[in-house]
Amino acid sequence: MQPAKAIELAKRSFDLSFSHEQVARLQQYVDLLTDWSGRVRLISRNDRNFIWERHILDCLSLVPHLPGDGPLLDLGSGAGLPGIVIKIMRSDLEVYLLEPTRMKNLFLQEAITALDLQNTFAIRSRAETLVGDSSFSGKFLIVTARAVARLPQLWNWVEPLLAPQGVLIAMKGPDSLREFTNGVPDYIYATETTLTLPFTRRKRSFVFIKIC
């Protein structure tokens, strides 16, 4: 897909607006992903020619649902999806990209530098390790996670990292609240929003979880 078509789809489907700088940064980011994917498995081989359709548009769909304030932690950031896309669209947010794999973390560091993303930090660590670091306890107003873990495990990692009014936004498939096999715990509020992504017509759900 040509970038211009993807941007137009995002404008119409997600009610987003783009500056010339944002479009340029998104294109540069896609170029970095394409270049690095020949050496590091950032995205699947089958997706390398469909980055705009299957990844960028997917991550852009989250942007209108973000709260107004940060800081934001992208847990299991991988190739920076959705964290880097969010940062490009929301330069006001302080963004932390958590990724334990060495080569993926190196990619994130290069992307931060190449795209000149201010107040953006790549952390090489696991979620369960970060939980034990007091400097991150109760720090984040937003935590995002795209295809990381089932919701009960994800919440166990995220809860200690959230500020009192913080929210976990998990990018999942439809009906993901069923992952709480014993029901959603009474002390948390959880809701799910589902949309159909443009072009691919895939279903995408956002699960929002916070303490009541």
Per residue, what are the HEC states of 139-158?
A: CEEEEEEECCCCHHHHHHHH
Residue 169 pLDDT more than 90? yes
* Measured distance CA(59)–CA(92) in Å, rounded: 17
* Percent above pLDDT 90 for the chain: 90
Q: What is the CATH number of domain 62-211?
A: 3.40.50.150
Predicted confidence (pLDDT) per residue in 8-48, tens digit: 999 999 999 999 999 999 999 999 999 998 888 998 888 88
DSSP state of 13: H
Q: State the pTM of this model.
A: 0.96
Residue 138: partners with Cβ closer than 8 Å, 6 or more residues away: 160, 161, 162, 163, 164, 166
Predicted confidence (pLDDT) per residue in 47-104, tens digit: 888 999 999 999 999 999 999 899 999 999 999 999 999 999 999 999 999 999 999 9
Task: Decide: 62 and 86 in contact? Cβ < 8 Å.
Answer: yes
* Measured distance CA(166)–CA(189) in Å, rounded: 12
Residue 209: partners with Cβ closer than 8 Å, 6 or more residues away: 151, 155, 158, 167, 168, 170, 188, 189, 190
Question: Where do the domains of the chain lie?
Answer: 62-211
pLDDT of 94 reads 98
Residue 132 pLDDT more than 90? no
